[in-house]
Amino acid sequence: MGRARHWREECGVVGIAGCAGAAELTSLALHALQHRGQESAGITVADGHTLATHKRMGLVADVFDESTVKVLGGTSAIGHVRYSTTGTSNLRNAQPIQVTSHRGSLALAHNGNLINAHVLRRLMEQEGSIFSTTSDSEIILHLMARSRAERVEDALAEALAQVQGAYSLVVLTKDKLVAARDPLGFRPLCLGRFQDSYVVCSESCALDIMGGRYQRDIEPGEMVILGEGELASRRLAPRGRERRCVFEHIYFSRPDSMVFGRNVEKIRRRCGEILGREAPAAADLVCAVPDSSNTAALGYARAAGLPFELALIRNHYVGRTFISPAQKVRDMSVRIKFNPVAEVLAGQRVVVVDDSIVRGTTMRKLVKLFRAAGAAEVHLRIASPPITNPCYYGIDTPVRKELIASSHSVDEIATYLRVDSLRYLSLEGLLEATGEAEQYCTACFTGAYPIDFAEHVEKNVFDLQTETREVPAPAPGGERS
Ligand code: SF4
């Protein structure tokens, strides 16, 4: 299918405490969070005595069916959908990660990236620790296992005091569910209710699907301990300036979600409106690169006083498709996914709105499709600033040199893409749309990283250190303890 048009999504997490049918509700929630990771899905349930985990490579619908969730049962559960940010994509890195330690069985599901995980792991391995995954998330379980604290929440607090980076996570024991968010709040995590039970999830759309109610965000630096209808909260760090990932609003999160306490659709639409104000174009119509840019394009069209048209149709049902090298040369990878509507485009001056440009290779092919469909002019408007730096906090980005804006001016990019004009939303415009400029991470646009990191850290850092060869995933069957 060629390279992704966007940065890959990260992960989605959910936890439900003290509720009959916990596995079923968790699988529903994972369906709603599917956009955050499509490589693997998993659920761990607790019934007051034991934990049971079922996880597989694939989409939620492939991993869980009616009988699987029925067999899992449980009265509390955590769930995870994964796109790998550290560690390769394979079953042993799928989450939740369930382990057994002196404090009994524990399971963890994590969204984010720990920037000092490689240092901690090397130290622990030198001291004799044995790791079973190449995921940074396993470090937290090891640190918890080493803690002498009696209560799981105290052990988790000790572990989290030693890690740096981004985490929104849930931990399950046989009788407790604990959720925590890093002090800078890079990744979202919200709290809601389903009937009398508490639910934590990456985005509020996971609450909507089960008929739950959004209550508030888990605060950056907050830990919540959930039991049957009970919630206790404690602070892991004093509340200070936050560094929420602004890309959650630009692209990652669903527009119907509340993320960082704000509706994503509203912010995305506002980005389009401000872009329309900052970068108008003499054109006949506005269209989006669906689906992630629809809302911004609507905002742009409204601000520019131009009609919004569905001029590019996306095929939602394309899975893995074999394309021969010869076909790739003829841009088949983009044609399979997108089809322009010639009847709408013929002879028209078109504004195409997209949410971001990473490498530019897909957009170049799309522009070619627009021209072939008869567009008289193509004016490209991007509803975020140029991406010049990679992310180290849980988003799988290409290395800097592959980001087209890291080494090319806007004019050079316009020439490469063969558009009549190209304009990006300004950083000020983006932050104006969020309404809380000071609280966001914008490092991929500015290079101003909120936490120092070792530049050489790679996504597969632990795989590079291991001599283990991955074998294909085993036949179906759960992991239980
Ligand atoms: Fe989000 Fe960019 Fe910051 Fe990464 S660097 S957390 S993608 S804003």
Owner of token pair 């074998």: 471
The pLDDT value given to residue 40: 95
73 in Cβ contact with 50 (< 8 Å): no
pLDDT at residue 178 in the model: 98
Ligand 1: atom nearest CA of 7 is 7
Taking CA atoms, 255 is separated from 31, 43, 249, 274, 294, in Å, by 15, 25, 8, 18, 10
C-beta separation of 82 from 132 below 8 A: no
**Model pLDDT, residue 229:** 78
Cα 285 to chain centroid distance, Å, stands at: 32
Q: Is the CB of 444 under 6 A from ligand 1?
A: yes
pLDDT for 87 = 59
* Token pair listed for 147: 């803690």
* Angle between helices 427-434 and 264-278 in degrees, nearest 10: 150
Q: Which residue has the higher pLDDT, 243 or 455?
A: 243
Q: How far is the CA of 14 from the centre of ligand 1 (A)?
A: 22
pLDDT of residue 7: 57
Q: Is the pLDDT of residue 322 over 80?
A: no
pLDDT digits (tens, 9 = 90+) for 269-311: 999 999 999 999 999 999 999 999 999 999 999 999 999 999 9
Q: Give me the percent of the chain exceeding a pLDDT of 70.
A: 88
Is 11 annotated as catalytic? Answer: yes
pLDDT digits (tens, 9 = 90+) for 223-254: 999 987 789 999 999 999 999 999 999 999 99
Cis peptide before 291 (omega within 30 of 0): yes
Beta bridge partners of 338: 314
Instruction: Report the SS3 class of residue 68.
Output: helix
- Which of 147, 146, 150, 143 has its CA nearest to residue 169? 143
**Residue pLDDT, tens place only, 18-44:** 999 999 999 999 999 999 999 999 999
How sure is the predictor about 450, in pLDDT bands with cuts at 50, 70 and 90? very high
The average pLDDT across 1-28 equals 80
72 lines ligand 1 (CB under 6 A): no
Calpha distance 177→169 (Å, rounded): 11
Q: What is the position in ligand 1's atom list of the atom closest to the CA of 166?
A: 6
- Do 268 and 292 meet the contact criterion of CB atoms below 8 Å apart? no
- Residue 404 pLDDT > 60, yes or no? yes
Q: Does ligand 1 come within 6 angstroms of the Cβ of 180? A: no
State mean pLDDT over 437-449: 96
Quick one: average pLDDT of 144-160?
Answer: 96
Residue that the structure tokens 């997108």 belong to: 338
Return the SS3 of 120: helix
Number of other CB atoms surrounding residue 318 within 10 Å? 12
350, burial (CB in 10 Å: exposed 0-12, middle 13-18, buried 19+): buried
For the chain, the average pLDDT equals: 90
pLDDT higher than threshold 70 for residue 467: no
Residue 398: asked if its preceding bond is cis (omega within 30°), the reply is no
Angle between helices 152-160 and 138-146 (to 10 degrees): 120
Atom of ligand 1 nearest to the CA of 440: 8
| Range ranked top by mean pLDDT from 206-220, 226-240, 391-405 | 206-220
pLDDT band at 3 (very low <50, low <70, confident <90, very high): very low
Q: Which amino acid is at 258?
A: M
Q: Does residue 387's CB lie within 6 angstroms of at least one atom of ligand 1?
A: no
pLDDT at 398 (0 to 100): 79
